Amino acid sequence: MSSDTSATVLLDDRQEWLRFSQPRDDLWDSHVVIEGMHCAACAFTVEEALLSVPGVRSAEVNAATHRAKVVWSEAQVKPSQWMAAIARAGYGALPAADNTLRQARQEETRRALWRWLVAGFCMMQVMMYAYPAYVAGEGDITPDMVALLRWASWVLTLPVVFFSCGPFFQNALRDIRWRCISMDLPVALGMAITFMLSSAATFEPSGLFGGEVYYDSLTMFVFFLLTGRWLELRVRDRTAGALEALMNRLPDSVERQHSDGSFERVAVRRLLPGDVIRVLPAESFPADGVIVQGQTLADEALLTGESRPQSRAVGDTVVAGSHNLVSAVLVRVEQVGEGTQFSQIVALMENASLQKPRLAQLADRVAKPFLVGVLVMAALAAAWWWPSNPSHALMVAVAVLVVTCPCALSLATPAAMLAAAGNLARHGVLVRNLQALESLAEIDTLIFDKTGTLTSDGQRITRVWTAPGVTPEHALSLAAALASHSLHPLSRALVAAHDPLAKPQVSIAEDVHESIGEGLEGRVNEILRLGSAAFCGVKTKGLPEDAQLCQVHLCSEQTWLASWQLSEDVRADAAQTVQALKDLGVDVWLLSGDHAESVQQVAEQVGIQQAFGGCTPQNKLSRMQAAQAQDARVAMVGDGLNDGPVLAGAHVSMAFGNAVPLAQSTSDLVLMGGQLQVVAQSVRLARQTLRVVRQNLAWAAVYNALCVPLAVVGWLPAWLAGLGMALSSLWVVLNALRLTRGF
């Protein structure tokens, strides 16, 4: 059995699946990287091959990232079987988290470089032998010398055809075998026709095609095509670099401590909660955990967008995927595998990288019929020119086949979208849905929530009112009992303010129910309510007038018990963010469930004119829908806790990742850090992305509109067609590369 086959069969070990798969009921979601792909048609071929395997429920392949998501049933199929289907289709597959992925990519780049070097060297020699035929007058070169130069060119063209052109011919044969079409098929036909036509002229100078040879054109357009492919490969790796840098951030192994204090290096997937591991400097933390010995600095930039190293000592938590910078620490593992925050981030990014925005789907749908049209157009052009000059007719067909390859069209949208997603990921913004970038670029209204969004999560109690006979400590104990069942920032502040060592200790609440955006109701010896004034019904006897303006109230079924006023700090960059959005022409609103006075105070601090307080989730949704009814394109930024309806109803939504579990977030973009200015920067980058996409699509359309007629009438030689095709694809990718710089 070959080593490749052995490696594939090894993946049938259930323990190995966790390296590149996630369980979902009785199904598995696996992510693999496809080798040998070049275009959207290749993606269709791989998808068809996977869907032909019994037990494979769905398959999504992205031509730009070369990544595939395969959903399969454990009861019906094993990974080795659907990977074998990919191999039969003529492609390779590697687990997305495989530690040999980088090595395989380097080998692919090295092979592409060697093919390019061979083509370039042979092209220069062939051009040297072709030069006399271009400059010599009639009778200056003897027929024997002409034949010698042709034979020398033929010999130098052989390495180009059989080595440099190898991938084109292999892919074309694969297409014929699978009865499909990709962008390499017309290119390979053009190469084969040119070489056979020139060979016929070399072997039979007096024959039907003996008038002229085209070795110089062949070697030149192969060289230009390979130049474009190699540069495109380098640029693609760079644009996807941020995504892969995050997704492949976990180490392969780690030192685990035994009961006797000794350490053994084990595979990360063998870790269990409760294990104690030693993480050395320059290593990544392999799991979420708590430091039990030592002190260090952790780099969490790719996870939170925070560029400064964070101090971590005994008792502090560390997250999988962050880097240990300074010294060795012992960590007690708390979450492993799919339970880690890192795993949730990777799942978000992998799913986003496989999505196809509307513009990309349109280009993909056009690409395949366009290729069929190219073959028909080339045949018609050859038939038109054949009566007058068969040799020229075939070269016209070659020019049509080469120049019309729609690589630029298929790459126009995904290259730009993925470059932007990679840039956002480096700054702590995870794109869950690539379509959201298109929607974000078109917004004209942005709605902020207040608590936990414009203001920081941390809040503190500044004033307390209690009913006669109720001590502040006892009231806080009752409130903390209810608040411990909620993730709302105000609830967390009450829980944090209660000293667990104080007397009385925190009470136990039963049958607690939360009304989103309003408050909590539960039993602590009696039925209690904690929340807004309207929810608690606190307009009862004994409530001080000042206390009516508080954010949080506690009452029983009979009477008011206590009220708390909490203050929150406006984020340092909130005013700057609002002004940046206004500079972009975006109308900024503030909708909050807090009292109108508190909301207006924050709005004045940050410069928002449209501010509304006392809003329930339904009120927020109604106001947003009213704006949408007037053709407003609305984005919503919230904490993901009580903003679910309005986040779901907005054209595009953003939520802070530290405020809600990522797995439960339904937002289009997740803001991992605490910086608000990334909101305005994301809008700016989304608009730039849409401009780049439109530029790419316009370039692809103009290029084909200009070059196809020139090729059909015979004014475009094959070498220039190859140069045009390479430059068009390269221009599209380089234009998208601009989105990876700056923010």
Contact 428, 673 (CB under 8 A): yes
User: Going by DSSP bridges, is the β-strand pair 56-62/652-656 parallel, antiparallel, or unpaired?
Assistant: unpaired
Residues annotated as catalytic are 449
- Alpha-carbon span 676 to 643, nearest angstrom: 17
**228 to 67, 194, 282, 400, 642: CA distances (angstroms):** 21, 20, 37, 18, 50
Tally of CB atoms within 10 A around 407: 27
- Rounded (5°) CA angle 318-319-323: 85
Contact 693, 359 (CB under 8 A): yes
Q: Minimal CA–CA distance to 611: which of 443, 444, 448, 445? A: 448
Phi, psi of 309 (to 5 degrees): -60, 145
User: Going by DSSP bridges, is the β-strand pair 610-612/587-591 parallel, antiparallel, or unpaired?
Assistant: parallel
User: Going by DSSP bridges, is the β-strand pair 526-531/519-524 parallel, antiparallel, or unpaired?
Assistant: antiparallel
Contact 489, 456 (CB under 8 A): no
Helix residue spans in 204-289 (DSSP H): 215-239, 241-247
- Alpha-carbon span 427 to 238, nearest angstrom: 16
Q: How far is CA 134 from the centre of its chain?
A: 51
Q: Minimal CA–CA distance to 129: which of 226, 193, 202, 223? A: 202
| Sign of the torsion formed by the C-alpha atoms of 185, 191, 192 and 197 | positive
Contacts of 51 (CB under 8 A, 6+ apart): 58, 59
- Per the rule left: phi > 0, alpha: psi between -120 and 50, beta: everything else, 513 is beta
> Taking the chain, what is the end-to-end CA distance rounded to the nearest angstrom?
50
Torsion of CA 308, 313, 319, 324, to 10 degrees: 60
The DSSP string of 527-576 is EEEEE-HHHHT--STT--TGGGG-SEEEEESSSEEEEEEEEEEEPTTHHH
- Rounded (5°) CA angle 317-321-327: 65
Three-state DSSP class for residue 296: strand
Residue 585: burial class (beta carbons within 10 Å; 0-12, 13-18, 19+): exposed
Tally of CB atoms within 10 A around 125: 15
**613 to 292, 490, 523, 595: CA distances (angstroms):** 45, 16, 29, 5
Contacts of 577 (CB under 8 A, 6+ apart): 606, 676, 677, 679, 680
Tokens representing residue 308 in the block: 């400064």
